[in-house]
Structure 1
Amino acid sequence: MAISFIRKFTKGFFVILNSMGCLVFLIACLSPYINPENWPIIGFLALLVPYLVVALLFSIIFWLIVKPVLSLLPFITLLLGWKQLAVIVAWHAGATFTAAPKTDSTIRLITWNVRGMYGISTNPYKQQRDRLQIFATIRDLNPDIVCLQEFNTSYNQKRPTALNLQLFSEVFPYHYFSKDYVSASKTSAAGSIIFSKHPIVFSDKIKFPGNSSESLLYADIAIGRDTIRSFTTHLQSYKFNSNDYADIEKIKSNDADVLSSASENIYSKMKLAFQQRAQQSAIVKAAIKQSPYPSIVCGDFNDVPNSNTYFTIRGPRQDAFLAGYFGIGTSFDALAPTLRIDYILPDNHFNILQFDMVDEGLSDHHMLVTDVSLKK
């Protein structure tokens, strides 16, 4: 009798747990359609999607062994969430990137959050070395267009970021710099920047509202007889500092002494970022719709591909990662191994020829590079 009760209780427990997991996953799948400005919890659920997928896959295997008919629930749930599954993993096995000389019709574009051009060291000498290595890594790939976020240039010769504009301009004679942050002394500036080997015939920026100093910037670039518009941006981050990262580790370790206060602080910062990115992504969507030319949107969106941010900006566009890569494709090294938050999104006027994510250990973000060509 006792064994029978335990068996029924255990089975019931796992059925309820399985059902709850399916429900949470289906709610998370609504993230493309729910504005996190009004319901920020959807932003948190979007971050969990890869882990929920793994849990549901294990659930299918478990029920196939224990009671096969019950495996239908997680299986059907995953089928219903196909749109979310389709953006997590790229399936081009054996995909490689060839940096060989390009054809005249090929346009090579790089996007990279370069973390201020300081590298990841706190040593000024290493920062100077990393600055030059960042430039060399980009130069050696021979791109036509380079979009950088968290780009920093200083006019003080003693600083590691001195004359970054001059450094890049030796190879890329055209640029448009957002200068979202300018020091009080006017000796340094930071923001997003577009470099080009081809003439920039028009450029502009749209400053995001609120406390954010970031912008969406774009440049119309004449390449041969064609003109394309390149957009880049750095959307609102969580603004985590070193104390916040320490709190996250304490949360992971279930440190009871700080669990409540740390969780509240992290939650508040993430909630604000979800809401601000909702506003910013709507601005980006409206701007790219107005492009008179074939366009490519790229940059650091600070949000995962399961998010409302991603689906709002991408719309019917292509994702270069999904078109030319294999695997999950982490683009940001901190916090979790599932954070693909940097993107290259060409519209449907382009063929995507190849794509790569490059980790040189010079930033907390990976560099993204793609070759595209205009459809004729």
Structure 2
Amino acid sequence: MKHISKVFTYLLLAINAFFVGILLLTAYSPYIHPVVHPIESCMGLTFPIFLLINLCFFIFWLIVHYKYSALSLLGFLLCYSQILTYLPMNFRTAPTENSLKLLSYNIMAFNHLEKTGGANPILSYIQKLDADIVCLQEYVTPQNTKGHLNEKEIRKGLKAYRYRNVQQIGEKGSNQLACYSKYPILSARVIPYESHYNGSVAYEIKVGDDTLTVINNHLESNKLTKEDKVVYESMIKDPDADKVKSGARLLINKLAEASAIRSKQVDAIAREIATSPHAPIIVCGDFNDSPISYTHRVIAEQLKDAFTESGRGLGISYNQNKFYFRIDHILISKNMSSHNCTVDRSIDSSDHYPIWCHIEIN
């Protein structure tokens, strides 16, 4: 009986070691280039799953045989920075008077310009938040359609912002990025890279004696149709083996294709950061990628993540079809500090939650 118990213990240890290895592989997958190995580069999306599995092993060994818990503990230590990036736990701090408030929000065309009770909830939210700089993705210049939000109402609603810039992005020209600012926008230009519908815009914004480089992004979408998202949701609700196998193959191939396209866009943004004539840099927007990804790693190489520095929890920013990921980000240069970075779940009118924070130039 004792012999059987030993064999079972060693078998569990072997399984534990396997999952520690997978955890480390997902944690360091951002170093895999998506063009060379597109599928493997997407492994970071599963990081929280294997983190949870190893946490269960850690608790189990603490109860049964505490010495063996060192295996999972070693895994946690080897990916400590990734854990902090994915799941920061910071206390709220009071911003200084000199800090500026920045909002990044994929507004889904102001929820397709719909009104509720005569007002557009997204426009009302932006007004109420009263950020100093507002970077919007999936913006739309509305036509005067009866019963829907129009251009005049947007201008009136955002009249506190003296400066605004709207740019067409993508080769098809059906998507827009917008920046509203209480500070002068000195220049704005689209960063050149290939995409049918997505893009990035670099702004120079004068804040007091400083000039900021602000890069607003809507990076390559994951090419998932409404039908694909339904497949994913049904996999989560009813994990039938055949359904999971066929659905997973479909989703992984689409995610990998988008990841490879996005990597070239990210390299262009990284060059823009490296050649910026201004030291204070803010990069924000809808990255369509998680904090454990090639996208995030390359952009954050010379910057730091405001949510990691001053946010709390998972910060899930996409709110549809059970895709529980933080894909909206605010990154800042190392000569800046952030306070109370928040993914705001108080409004769900878009398929993204807004992300905002107070930023101070040190």
* TM-score, length basis structure 2: 0.89
Q: Distance in 1 between matches of 2:16 and 2:247?
A: 30
Structure 2, unpaired ranges of 5+: none
* Residue 277 (1) aligns with residue 262 (2): yes
State which drifts further: 197-206 or 248-257.
248-257
Q: Distance in 2 between matches of 1:50 and 1:264?
A: 20
Q: Is the 8 A contact 2:61 2:67 kept in 1?
A: yes
Q: CA deviation at 1:58?
A: 1.5
State which drifts further: 145-154 or 57-66.
57-66
Pick from 195, 198, 201 the counterpart of residue 186 of structure 2: 201
State which drifts further: 109-118 or 355-364.
355-364
State which drifts further: 228-237 or 351-360.
351-360
Pick closer, same or farther for the CA change 1:168–1:181 going to 2, 3 Å.
Answer: farther
Q: CA deviation at 1:23?
A: 1.0
Q: Distance in 2 between matches of 1:148 and 1:336?
A: 23
Q: CA deviation at 1:21?
A: 0.2
Q: Distance in 2 between matches of 1:10 and 1:161?
A: 65
Pick from 258, 262, 271 the counterpart of residue 247 of structure 2: 262
Question: What is the aligned partner in structure 1 of residue 109 from structure 2?
Answer: 116
Q: Distance in 1 between matches of 2:51 and 2:222?
A: 25
The 3-state SS of whatever aligns with 1:91 is: coil
Q: Distance in 2 between matches of 1:251 and 1:324?
A: 34
Amino acid of the residue matched to residue 328 of structure 1? L
* Residue 238 (1) aligns with residue 222 (2): yes
Q: 1:14-36 CA distances to partner (integer Å, 9 max, x unpaired)?
A: 22211110111111122232212
Pick from 28, 34, 38 the counterpart of residue 36 of structure 1: 34
The 3-state SS of whatever aligns with 1:22 is: helix
Q: Is the 8 A contact 1:118 1:160 kept in 2?
A: no
Amino acid of the residue matched to residue 108 of structure 2? R
Pick closer, same or farther for the CA change 1:165–1:208 going to 2, 3 Å.
Answer: farther
The 3-state SS of whatever aligns with 1:87 is: helix
Question: What is the aligned partner in structure 1 of residue 211 from structure 2?
Answer: 227
Equivalent positions of 1:308-327 (< 5 A) are: 308-327=294-313
Pick closer, same or farther for the CA change 1:336–1:73 going to 2, 3 Å.
Answer: farther
Q: Distance in 2 between matches of 1:278 and 1:183?
A: 20
Q: Is the 8 A contact 1:181 1:190 kept in 2?
A: yes
Equivalent positions of 1:71-110 (< 5 A) are: 71-93=69-91, 95=92, 103=97, 105-110=98-103
Pick closer, same or farther for the CA change 1:46–1:181 going to 2, 3 Å.
Answer: closer
Report the number of matched residues.
358
* TM-score, length basis structure 1: 0.86
* Residue 212 (1) aligns with residue 210 (2): no
State which drifts further: 200-209 or 63-72.
63-72
The 3-state SS of whatever aligns with 1:254 is: coil
Q: Is the 8 A contact 2:171 2:197 kept in 1?
A: no
The 3-state SS of whatever aligns with 1:192 is: strand
The 3-state SS of whatever aligns with 1:352 is: strand
Q: Distance in 2 between matches of 1:53 and 1:88?
A: 11
Structure 1, unpaired ranges of 5+: none
| % same residue | 27
Pick from 292, 302, 310 the counterpart of residue 306 of structure 1: 292
* Residue 368 (1) aligns with residue 355 (2): yes
State which drifts further: 249-258 or 335-344.
249-258
The 3-state SS of whatever aligns with 2:257 is: helix
* Residue 151 (1) aligns with residue 149 (2): no
Amino acid of the residue matched to residue 144 of structure 1? D
Q: CA deviation at 1:265?
A: 2.2
